[in-house]
Amino acid sequence: MEVVIVVVAFAAILSLAFAAFNFKEVKKMPEGTEKMSEIADAIRVGANAFIRYEYKILYSVVIVVAVVLAFITTWHAAVALVLGSVMSGFAGMIGMKIATYANVRVSNKARETGDIGETVKVAFQGGSVMGLCVGGFALLGLFIVYVVFGIMMGQVYVTEATYVNLLGLSFIPFTMTLSGYALGCSIVAMFNRVGGGIYTKAADMGADLVGKTEAHIPEDDPRNPATIADNVGDNVGDVAGLGSDLLESFVGSISAGIILAYHMLLQSTALGTGMTTDLLERCILFPLVLVSVGLIACIIAIASLLFKKNMSDNPHKDLNGATYMAAILTITLGLGVSYFMFSSMDGQVMKDALGFTMGAFSPWIAATVGVVAGVIIGTIAEHYTSADYNPTRLLAHSATEGPAITITQGLALGMKSTMAPAIVLATSILLSYMVSGMYGVSMAAVGMLSFVTATVSVDTYGPISDNAGGIAEMSGLDPEVRKITDTLDSVGNTTAAIGKGFAIGSGALAALALMISYLYSYNDVATELVLNVMSPMVLAGVVVGGALPFLFSGMLIEAVGKSARKMVSEVRRQFREIPGILDGTGKPDYKSCIEISSKGAIAEMKVPSMLAIVVPVVSGFVFGPEFVGGMIIGATICAIMIAIFSGNSGGAWDNAKKYIEADGLENYGKGSMAHSAAVVGDTVGDPLKDTVGPCLDIFIKIMSTVSLVVVPVFAQINLVSFILQFFS
């Protein structure tokens, strides 16, 4: 298996090397005029200041959680948690930095060439740095955990709960270490998504509500004091937050599969179905190797677009081409990996112990189901959010009847859009289970994220293009430049919706796999795993868990509203008190708006971010493991639906507005009543698609991961059990 480990290391290093190359290539490009450089520098300074301040708070929380984890579980898990947070933090930081360099260079490329294809390349090259860092850093961290803790310290060979901690509790050491690594990635993802989401939407809403609907000035107009803060927010929320989010999904799905494999061995030993440690090792390494070849496939797909000589005038086609190439290559290479790793194993043992009904190809089929499901979910998101299709065009037409009808139609669109992805997810769960058992369900999640580098690269292209449009507007460039960046931005909104679909789908599958591991962690492995929903304790947990995503979402929207209210007041104050802003003779105070967004985001992010960590732990120590199990089920089901609804409603409102701005409706354009109504709809959708939706998949995964880490403790020590024992 040494060759397998080499493949993992090679893929991680190659990915990070290609990211470094693209970073340098983008930085070598000229920034354009002095005014463009000045605006880009202001965005860069604001983004760096926020992320530094946020990381100070974030890593203070990481240290506290690591100390607690070392005491109640193992010190290995605590060290792995810090490692995971560092890997995720690096990915977010580097991705944000390249976005603040690439944005102005995209504007300048459009200014110099007027060629949409060449401009797409620059935006995609900047986005690819984020994608390559997500895959590279995540895989590098997993490689370190496997080699250092698994091989060198011998944890991978310990298959029973033999490690005893300071509290006298026993654990399977490698599964706990891996859970710690996943938890570290999750904490960073939660802080970056929540903090960045509040920041960007407070600035965006403040800029739109006063600038567009009251002052009737264009989007990203330099006269609007909130424009720089809005552009800063795109980088901290939609780039750093996105990268940390999908890195966490990537790690969580792989970890779930590996942890599940250990429990499957214990069950097989108890039932006498013949699973060996050799088969366990292959089950551990398969997801690592699959994502490694997927990462190599993504590198090939990214390079094919970046070095393509004749780009089309359709950026959507080119970007989809890169994504589909990565997916097809991943499926093809994965077939060879599955055959190489499982062909020598006893087919009957694999069927009895793991549920492999298709022999050596079973895990590959399950992973392929995940890949296909991810593509279909992305296509569904595109159908509901792209102005090329009827749902968004009908939403744009509804704007001619005013903001109330626009909002009503958008809500209906989002609600209806949840059904098709839910059917796809349900089908993928059933199919993957039929061919590969519960291990197959986790492999479906891994498959969905096996080409995450390509999807993140395409997704990050969106906020870079959005920033480029803002810089073009604020720099007073030719309207043709803004036309190019608006085209890129519109495509970016659709790719963002597709990326959110991938994150939500993989989050649901990973949460399910983690749930199975959670049940194994406190139940006798020889018994059938059943969580009886009709049990009062479980049912109570389901009800409370179902309400949690609504509470979490409400807190996020309220946080955005509070910060946006302050932003609106500040923009209005400047228009009122600083003479000459609206006629262009006075200069707005951008710094005060950046400070409002920064302080608001940091102040408001703390409680929602800690909710996913604190609630399952407190609930576990009070009510016990069955209540928490029910709570995870309820939270997962509701969170999936709210996230899909939020992402698709918000994306459709945004693109309906852009459809009107592009003169898609005859006799209605910028400045019309229909446009004002669409702007209101877009503003309502902003916190839904960029704050609530993206944060909910992290919410359910971090709840599942925290519960899995702490369940060995609260399964033995909880208030309800103590009371029952006292009165028995």
CB 334 within 8 A of CB 294: yes
Q: What is the C-alpha separation between 356 and 281, in angstroms, rounded?
A: 16
CA distance 371 to 377: 10
- pLDDT confidence of residue 592: 83
Q: How far is Cα of residue 284 from the mean position of the Cα atoms in its chain? A: 24
CA dihedral 639, 644, 649, 651 (to 10 degrees): 120
Task: Using DSSP bridges, classify how beta strands 163-164 and 170-171 pair: parallel, antiparallel or unpaired.
Answer: antiparallel
Asked whether residue 468 carries a pLDDT value surpassing 70, the answer given is yes
Measured in whole angstroms, the distance separating CA 258 from the mean position of its chain's CA atoms is: 21
What is the pLDDT at residue 292? 95
Highest-scoring range by mean pLDDT, 135-149, 604-618, 680-694: 135-149
Per-residue pLDDT, 126: 93
105-121 pLDDT, tens digit per residue, is 999 998 988 888 888 89
Helix (H) or strand (E) holding 536: helix 536-577
Q: Per-residue pLDDT for 398 more than 80?
A: yes
pLDDT at 20 over 90: yes
CB 609 within 8 A of CB 191: yes
As given in the structure block, the two tokens for residue 276 are: 């060996």
Q: How would DSSP label each residue in 550-606?
A: HHHHHHHHHHHHHHHHHHHHHHHHHHHHSTTTTTTSS---HHHHHHHHHHHHHHHHH
Residues with Cβ within 8 Å of residue 583, at least 6 apart in sequence: none
DSSP percent split of the chain into helix, strand, coil, nearest 5: 85, 0, 15
Per-residue model confidence (pLDDT) at position 219? 66
Among 189, 187, 228, 191, residue whose Cα is nearest residue 206: 228
pLDDT band at 319 (very low <50, low <70, confident <90, very high): confident
**pLDDT value of residue 381:** 86
Res 137: pLDDT = 95
Q: Flag the least confident range among 244-253, 298-307, 539-548.
A: 244-253
∠ CA 456-608-493 to the nearest 5 degrees?
30
- Sign of CA pseudo-dihedral 365, 706, 5, 165: negative
Domain of 45, in residue numbers = 2-727
Distance CA 449, CA 367 (A): 9
Task: Tell me: pLDDT of 240 over 70.
Answer: yes
How many structural domains comprise the chain? 1
Give the H/E segment covering residue 170: strand 170-171
Coil/strand/helix, residue 273: coil
Beta-bridge mates of residue 436: 356
Q: What is the pLDDT of residue 521?
A: 77
Residue 73's SS3 state is coil
3-state secondary structure 398-415: HHHHCHHHHHHHHHHHHH
The answer to whether 227 touches 221, Cβ cutoff 8 Å, is yes
Report which listed range, 228-242, 458-472, 570-584, 586-600, is most confident: 458-472
CA pseudo-torsion sign 578, 583, 584, 588: positive
pLDDT more than 90, % of the chain: 37
8 Å CB contact between 279 and 434: no
Tell me the mean pLDDT in the region 308-328: 84
- Asked if residue 728 has pLDDT above 70, the reply is no
Lowest-pLDDT range of 5-14, 90-99, 361-370, 478-487: 478-487
**CA pseudo-torsion sign 354, 359, 360, 366:** negative
**What pLDDT score was predicted for residue 542?**
94
The C-alpha atoms of residue 611 and residue 549 are separated, in whole angstroms, by 10
Count Cβ atoms within 10 A of the Cβ of residue 207 and give its class: 0-12 exposed, 13-18 middle, 19 or more buried.
buried
Burial status of residue 148 (CB atoms within 10 A of its CB: 0-12, 13-18, 19 or more) = middle
* Residue 671 confidence (pLDDT) above 80: no
pLDDT at 724 over 80: no
**What burial class does residue 60 get, using C-beta atoms within 10 Å of its C-beta: 0-12 exposed, 13-18 middle, 19+ buried?**
exposed
Per-residue pLDDT at 1: 60
Residue 477 CA to residue 40 CA, distance in Å, equals 14
Mean pLDDT of the chain: 87
Please give the C-alpha separations between residue 396 and each of 126, 218, 393, 653, 658, in angstroms, as whole numbers: 31, 19, 5, 8, 9
Greater confidence, 78 or 516? 78
Query: Token pair of 182, please?
Result: 């996943």
Residue type at 261? A
Question: Which structure tokens are listed for 124?
Answer: 């995609």
Residue 399 has pLDDT above 80, yes or no: yes
Please give the structure tokens belonging to residue 526: 């020889």
Contact (Cβ atoms closer than 8 angstroms) between residue 663 and residue 394: no
**Residue 390: predicted pLDDT:** 92
Token pair for residue 33?
């005029």
- The mean pLDDT value for 405-428 works out to 94
CB 135 within 8 Å of CB 455: no
Phi, psi of 505 (to 5 degrees): -60, -45
Please report which confidence band the pLDDT of residue 551 belongs to, taking 50, 70 and 90 as the band edges.
very high
- Local confidence band at 605 (pLDDT 50, 70, 90 cut-offs): confident
239 versus 144: the higher-pLDDT residue is: 144
Q: HSE on the CB side for 516, CA within 13 Å?
A: 25
Identify which of 119, 115, 138 has the alpha carbon closest to the alpha carbon of residue 19: 138
Q: Which residue has the tokens 């509500």?
A: 209
Identity at 221, one-letter amino acid code: D
pLDDT in tens, 512-544: 777 877 887 777 766 777 788 888 999 999 999
Q: Is 359 left (phi over 0), alpha (psi -120 to 50) or beta?
A: left
φ and ψ of 356, to 5 deg: -75, 105
The pLDDT of 274-279, averaged and rounded, is 90
User: Looking at the predicted structure, is the pLDDT value of residue 717 above 90?
Assistant: no
Task: State pLDDT tens for residues 166-210.
Answer: 777 778 889 889 989 998 998 888 888 888 888 877 777 777 777
DSSP bridge partners of 56:
none
Answer yes or no: are the C-beta atoms of 140 and 132 closer than 8 Å.
no
Q: Are 225 and 574 in contact (CB under 8 A)?
A: yes
pLDDT above 80 (res 329): yes
DSSP letter at 33 equals S
Q: pLDDT value at position 691?
A: 84
Buried b (16+ CB within 10 A) or exposed e, 492-506: bbbbbbbbbbbbbbb
Q: Which residue has the tokens 């519109």?
A: 490
pLDDT score, position 290: 95
In angstroms, rounded to a whole number, what is the distance separating the alpha carbons of residues 105 and 103? 5
Q: What is the pLDDT of residue 494?
A: 67
CA distances from 86 to 59, 97, 102, 611, 699 (A): 9, 16, 24, 22, 20
CA-wise closest residue to 280 among 439, 443, 74: 439
Q: What is the pLDDT of residue 142?
A: 94
Using DSSP, state whether 492 is helix, strand or coil. Answer: helix
Q: Which residue has the tokens 């509470």?
A: 551
Helix (H) or strand (E) holding 279: helix 277-306
Distance (Å, whole) CA 505 – CA 502:
5
CA distance 184 to 199: 23
Predicted local distance difference test score (pLDDT) of residue 534: 84
pLDDT score of 397: 93
**pLDDT score for 493:** 65
Whole-angstrom Cα distance, residue 289 to residue 363? 12
**pTM: predicted TM-score of the whole model, two decimal places:** 0.89
Structure tokens at 323: 């994504």
Q: What are phi and psi of 163, to 5 degrees?
A: -80, 125
Terminal C-alpha separation, the chain: 53
